[in-house]
Structure 1
Amino acid sequence: MIARLLILLCIALLGTPAGAAVNCSGKFPNPVTDICWSCMLPISIGSVRIGGGAQEDIPNPSNPLCSCGGNPILGLSIGFWEPARQVEVVRKPFCLVSMGGIDLNPGLPAAESARFARPGGSSNSFYQAHFYINTVMAWLQVITDFPCMEKAGFDLAYLTEVDPTWDDDELALILNPEVVLFANPVAVAACAADCAAATLGFGSSSLFWCAGCQGGLYPFSGEVPVHMGGVRTAELITERLTAKMHRELLAWGWHGRAGLCGPYVLPVMDKTAYKTQLIYPIPATEKFGGRCCQPFGRTTALWGAGKEFPVRGEDFTFLLFRKRNCCVGY
């Protein structure tokens, strides 16, 4: 009996092994207690930033005046970070963590999550992920007449369980054939510089194949070659799935001068246009350095400690704050 109890305790502490049953649990995000609203800051008019304190930002169009359309209407160039998308990383296929733990399984075969130990003590892992449209400001109706807010509500947009490229790195080459150019020591070593840049501010857009301290952004699949904790792995998969959405033209660019008059096609994701906030299982609402949102690629060692626990705390949900520049007409 004592031996069985020790075995069960070890399983609970080490996580759920491959092939074991995984329960589906979750929580719909509470907009009052789970979301760090200061992540929307700073607000900018042209290149002038208003408020925000320690909140980080990327460059904005320098001219405060703008115009759009064939019959130009003079307007103000506004910038802010809009909570607009959401990604959940799950162990059980078709488990909708963000919907309170609904098991949506329609009976289709899908790869289960797994963690494989390798000689030397390292391990790799695999997870499924879901991409949501979550324009929080729209469905809360906090601001009803501001033209720069996307009015799309809440919707499940993508399930990796029905995507054959998500659990097959060779098939994923269809979407990211350029990965063969970066499978070399020089390209991999460059990601160390991207990690340093993301930890101090934002990652480098020119190092588009890197996910900062999380490793390589390619391939666009759910297998992570080096598992170093659930939070870090979930952050990497969140970045990969967002990049995949851009490559499939399901996510567009909304920032910079090109975004003043509306979204534009951006097949290679600009990782500096996103900040993330963990909202499940433990919302990351505590501020580190005056902020609780993290740019893509920032090390999870600064904020991820204590955000994972066995069984019910091994699935993760991230709210994405997307950089938005907009021309607000008079």
Structure 2
Amino acid sequence: MKRLWMLVVALLAWGGGAQGAGLSTCVGRMPNLIADICWSCMMPISLGPGRLMDVRNQEDNGSNPSNPVCSCVVKPTIGLSTGFWEPARIVEVVRRPYCLVSLGGIDVDPGIPAPEAGRSAGVSGVTSEQFYQAHYYTTTVAQLLSVLMDSPCMEKGTFDLAYMTELDPLWNDDMLTAILSPESLLFANPIAVAACAADCVAATAGFGSSKLFWCAGCQGSLYPLNGHAGSAGGGIRGAELMVQRLMAKLHRCLVAWGWEGEAALCGPYLMPEMDKQAYKVQLLYPTPQTYGGVGGRCCQPFGRSTVLWGAGREYPVVGEDFTFLLFRKRNCCAGI
């Protein structure tokens, strides 16, 4: 947290605040780590393949090891194979560059040009193009739980701003983005796009299909891995698409790793291709999603239709930026 505030102060001193701002305003609110978080999203908590604790039949991706007993060599450990959903990251999707919504709406514009988000209307007034900036934070939620429960399976760390798309030249350029994900050219056709309808159905019923890796469920195509959302529809739908694309990009850049399955029992591993079944998402801002999901659940897998949980959570001016809490599937060998 100290490093983040030093960065904020330095950027303000360098850029002089909100110079060169467009029409959008910088608003926000720091999340309440008690009231705004849907704690039931951490469930189910499992031992081996079986569930130990659950509330409202929370969704799980089936990555749990089959053996409840485990061992690790690097850190000599004999323990139990546990599984849960860790509140690990915060992603905010914003209209105004350098606006830190999760820090209360602080504008840290350093004077480095970055495109402002916007929407353009197509035929009959339907949104035909969306563009957003995004920020990626590590959180202190898991660390807080680690202190309370003394759990070796919670990630240790601090609240920190780890990534800003404004400083990434690929985020606004389709041609440059193709260098990072050349396979996107294979899915820029009507047949591949039409196949995403099946992924939308799968994500609405449970988790999206891993076989349809180029799809973002009901949000459309995962490619290109940048801030141009195309005809994504409403603001929440476009924002969740940005979250999926950002996480896919960070996996491709080896910033985000894999924490699920038997391979993760002794620590994370490289995962250059994001497993969209490894994440569930909860809206924190502008309206915390602590109710109103499918089956009474207040978080959902990537790609689920926003019609089922996003209604009434977006409103003009101060409710058009979005903050999401990512729950990451975690398997761990908890030492005895």
TM over 0.5: yes
Mapped pair 1:84 → 2:104 = no
Mapped pair 1:136 → 2:141 = yes
Question: How far does the alpha carbon of each residue in 1:11-66 deviate from its partner, in whole angstroms, 9 at most, with x for none?
Answer: xxxxxxxx952211111100122110000000000000122132100111111011
| Change over 3 Å in CA distance of 1:312–1:71 after alignment to 2 | closer
Which of 305, 310, 316 is the equivalent residue of 1:304?
A: 310
Describe the SS at the equivalent of 1:262.
coil
Partner of 1:107: 111
Identify unmatched segments of 5+ residues in structure 2: 1-20
Given that residues 145 and 154 in structure 2 are in contact (C-alpha distance below 8 angstroms), is that contact kept between their aligned partners in structure 1?
Answer: no
Which of 62, 69, 78 is the equivalent residue of 2:66?
A: 62
How far apart are 1:152 and its partner, in Å?
1.0
Point out the structure with the larger helix share: 2
Describe the SS at the equivalent of 1:222.
coil
User: For 1:256-275, what aligned pairs fall within 5 Å after superposition?
Assistant: 256-275=261-280
Question: How far does the alpha carbon of each residue in 1:72-126 deviate from its partner, in whole angstroms, 9 at most, with x for none?
Answer: 5321000000000010000100000001111011111000111112234332111
Given that residues 165 and 171 in structure 1 are in contact (C-alpha distance below 8 angstroms), is that contact kept between their aligned partners in structure 2?
Answer: yes
Instruction: Identify which range, 275-284 or 28-37, moves more after superposition.
Output: 28-37
Mapped to 2, the partners of 1:142 and 1:193 lie a distance apart of 42
Question: How far does the alpha carbon of each residue in 1:223-267 deviate from its partner, in whole angstroms, 9 at most, with x for none?
Answer: 111041111010100110011111111100000111111000001
Partner of 1:170: 175
Describe the SS at the equivalent of 2:137.
strand
Q: Which amino acid aligns with 1:88?
A: E
Partner of 1:247: 252
Partner of 1:207: 212
Mapped to 1, the partners of 2:139 and 2:24 lie a distance apart of 26
How far apart are 1:139 and its partner, in Å?
4.0
Partner of 1:318: 324
Describe the SS at the equivalent of 1:244.
helix
Q: Which amino acid aligns with 1:90?
A: V
Mapped to 2, the partners of 1:71 and 1:142 lie a distance apart of 21
Mapped to 2, the partners of 1:114 and 1:67 lie a distance apart of 51
Instruction: Identify which range, 108-117 or 263-272, moves more after superposition.
Output: 108-117
Mapped to 1, the partners of 2:48 and 2:185 lie a distance apart of 40
Partner of 2:14: none
Describe the SS at the equivalent of 1:98.
helix
Partner of 1:40: 42
TM-score normalised by L of structure 2: 0.90
Mapped pair 1:93 → 2:107 = no
Mapped to 1, the partners of 2:314 and 2:76 lie a distance apart of 51
| Change over 3 Å in CA distance of 1:310–1:287 after alignment to 2 | closer
How far apart are 1:141 and its partner, in Å?
5.6
Partner of 2:191: 186
Between the aligned residues of both structures, percent identity stands at 64
TM-score normalised by L of structure 1: 0.91
Given that residues 138 and 144 in structure 1 are in contact (C-alpha distance below 8 angstroms), is that contact kept between their aligned partners in structure 2?
Answer: no
Given that residues 89 and 316 in structure 1 are in contact (C-alpha distance below 8 angstroms), is that contact kept between their aligned partners in structure 2?
Answer: yes
Which of 214, 222, 232 is the equivalent residue of 1:217?
A: 222
Given that residues 89 and 137 in structure 2 are in contact (C-alpha distance below 8 angstroms), is that contact kept between their aligned partners in structure 1?
Answer: yes
Q: Which amino acid aligns with 2:272?
A: P
How far apart are 1:180 and its partner, in Å?
0.9
